Structure 1
């Protein structure tokens, strides 16, 4: 059974991540852990005894609120899920606390809502962007404009490096969902026989009814992200799968290129972000 840590700060925006996780739970065998980080700072005039009492009280209040918050969402949506729990913990850094907790319970995925602001880094939000940059556990990013619907199609833009490794990661996620996977490969030198042969070899080795492959010619006048965005908008997948090098500079170069003032991805599409092998 998969474990999915679903983060919330009790905001309206964080409900989107909760709704997406509930949708996954309706399609797969998984346990949902709704998780809230309580940030409590200790003023210099407080002693340890008073701080510990205050912390205990705040944690109990947050736990009660989280229980009611999740229950209200389940009742309003008439969702019937049994395998879930609510957890509150104290932490200074939300992203670090989420990562450590998820590692300790051997979570398979972390689900987090983004902020939906104008630029991509703002779209992801501080916590989400830090999880993408540093978390060894796959992260699901759910946009604020997400509307509940069954997960039926996955979009994967692959550079074909470590393809077999990456495909296995996707198949593990997809084992219960059994969705259709569309693999897109973008290449400036698509016309070279060596590149065509490599593409055909990978296609032939991974033929399946639920997998299709698409080769796209890159236009040197447009950034890669624009090509990907066009195909996402055209195919309207349920989720976009991304493998990323966990390096902030790389992240900024790829996602903030010439579209720094615009959204690079269709903000209605949840993203599943894996750590690249190399």
Structure 2
């Protein structure tokens, strides 16, 4: 059974990640943990015992607030909640606390909402982009405007450098019973590779059905624009990408152009794995 750590700060935007995770759980039986990171200040005059008792009281209150918030989202979706827990952690460092908690408790994925349309920092927010750039645990970034629907298709954008990555894509897709599509954009100086040859190579790594699409990349546009056009046509449920987490995933993905269309990242959840 997969374990998903879902972050929330009680904002309306954070409900997107919660709704997506609930949908995943309803299709796959995944166990959900809803986490909020809060800071309980300590007056300098307090003893350790006094502060510890106060911290416990405050965290219990916050945990109940998380529970009520989660129940309200389940109720709004008319879903019966199953197999979830709520956690509140005291720390002034949100990003590292989320990553540490996910790693320490062997979560399979971290699910977090993005902030909305705009430039990268505004779109993802510091916490989401930091998690994607640094977390050893795969991160699912869910757009704040995400509309819940049955998950039917997982689109894997691949550079073909490591075809064994498909195993991790399938590991996500199989419990959901979704289809998997591998998408590769060929470069002008790249040897022509037939999609059937790639499909045969993929079968060496998985017995799960994978459809392969090879498209020529339009070099006048950023990679995101090429992905955008394909997504607009196919409308996958989830986009999967892998990153080396060097120099920042978003800097490399979006390059330096300000005219890139980010619209697919405001509609399609993005699952990012760290490259081996």
| TM-score normalised according to structure 2 size | 0.90
Q: Secondary structure at the match of 1:265?
A: helix
Equivalent residues in 2 for 1:1-278, closer than 5 Å: 1-42=1-42, 45-49=44-48, 50-164=50-164, 166-189=165-188, 194-196=191-193, 199-206=195-202, 210-259=209-258, 262-263=261-262, 265-277=264-276
Sort the Cα spacing of 1:121 and 1:212 in 2 relative to 1 into closer, same or farther, 3 A: same
> How far apart in 1 are the matches of 2:56 and 2:45?
15
C-alpha offsets along residues 88-130 of structure 1, whole Å, 9 cap, x if unaligned? 1111211111111111111111110011141123211111111
Q: Verify the 8 A CA contact 1:25 1:31 in the aligned structure 2.
A: yes
Q: Verify the 8 A CA contact 1:154 1:241 in the aligned structure 2.
A: yes
Give the drift of 1:204: 2.4
| TM-score normalised according to structure 1 size | 0.90
> How far apart in 1 are the matches of 2:20 and 2:138?
15
Q: Verify the 8 A CA contact 1:179 1:210 in the aligned structure 2.
A: no
Task: Could you tell me which runs of 5 or more consecutive residues in structure 1 were left unpaired when the two chains were aligned.
Answer: none
How many residue pairs end up in the alignment? Answer: 272
Q: Verify the 8 A CA contact 1:186 1:215 in the aligned structure 2.
A: yes
C-alpha offsets along residues 21-76 of structure 1, whole Å, 9 cap, x if unaligned? 00001100211001111123445x44344544443332122111111111222223
Q: Secondary structure at the match of 2:167?
A: helix
Task: Could you tell me which runs of 5 or more consecutive residues in structure 2 were left unpaired when the two chains were aligned.
Answer: none
Most deviating of 129-138 and 208-217: 208-217
Q: CA RMSD in A?
A: 2.1
Q: Verify the 8 A CA contact 2:6 2:35 in the aligned structure 1.
A: yes
Q: Secondary structure at the match of 2:175?
A: coil
Most deviating of 207-216 and 108-117: 207-216
Most deviating of 205-214 and 138-147: 205-214
Give the drift of 1:256: 4.5
> How far apart in 2 are the matches of 1:92 and 1:209?
43
